Amino acid sequence: MLLVLEVGNATTTLGAFRGDELVFTARTATRHTPLPDEHALMLGQLLALYGCAPNSFDGAAISSVVPGLYPALTAAVKQLCGCAAVCVGPGVKTGLDIRLDAPAALGSDRVCGAVAAASAYPLPALVCNFGTATTICCIGDGGQYLGGCIAPGVEVGAQALADRAAQLPQVALKAPASVLGKNTAEAMQAGIVYGAASMVDGMVARYTQLLGQAPTVVATGEFAPLIAPCCRTPLVQDAHLLLRGLRQIYCKNRR
């Protein structure tokens, strides 16, 4: 079995693969602690919750957008499961032709999403990841990573409005019935949710013009179920895209 950890700024997703089958997934808040014991305790509790013994894993793969957590996470996996972990970062084989000014600076989450999308979907493709940030990654018809864009995520935008505007409250992140908000909360929800969806629609149109053909658009991330249905562009929702990309990267690098 393979243990995979996808560590975001706010949440961490754990998955377990048996061969190419994803047996289970679990989510928890990301712990920004340098102490391996705390991470090992968290991982052990999640595995116990799903009835999975730590010593059943033959390997592990970790992607973290918080690079400083890699030492603690690898030590925790070694302590708990007794196996070394492949960490997504510079020097790791991905199979991607990354055409950026500084390829090593590409976020590990974007790498995992691109690797999985390039192998699973018709190219060219766009990967829209709705998390703390909303990112769009563009993959060419030959599998090249061409670039992309980064925008504030919907939760970040909602929090910023509540923090910076005296008369605007915190609101639940959900799509209202219409873009015609009839009160302050509905107006904010319409702007946040339909605004994010419209941004994606507009950016997809720009990428389509740039590529010269319509790309496959894949949506993943915590807020994909909220935003994707509000887009006019057809989006394929793939909740476990990054975990599958992590598994593929592990397979390319295992000894």
Q: How many CB atoms lie within 10 A of CB 185?
A: 16
φ/ψ (deg, to 5) at 82? 75, 20
Tokens of 246: 């992590």
Residue 221 is classified by DSSP as S
Residue 214 is classified by DSSP as P
Contact assessment for residue 95 and residue 112, using Cβ atoms and an 8 Å cutoff: no
Which residue is associated with the tokens 């060219």?
Answer: 124
Helices (H), 82-237: 108-120, 154-164, 184-189, 195-211, 224-227
- HSE of 98, CA atoms in CB hemisphere, 13 A: 23
Is the Cα torsion angle 26, 134, 210, 249 positive or negative in sign?
negative
φ/ψ (deg, to 5) at 106? -65, 130
Whether 201 sits among the annotated catalytic residues: the reply is no
Catalytic residue among 58, 97, 101, 109: 109
**CA 179 to each of CA 29, 34, 39, 79, 244: distance values in angstroms, whole numbers, following the listed order:** 32, 44, 43, 51, 36
Annotated catalytic sites, by residue? 109
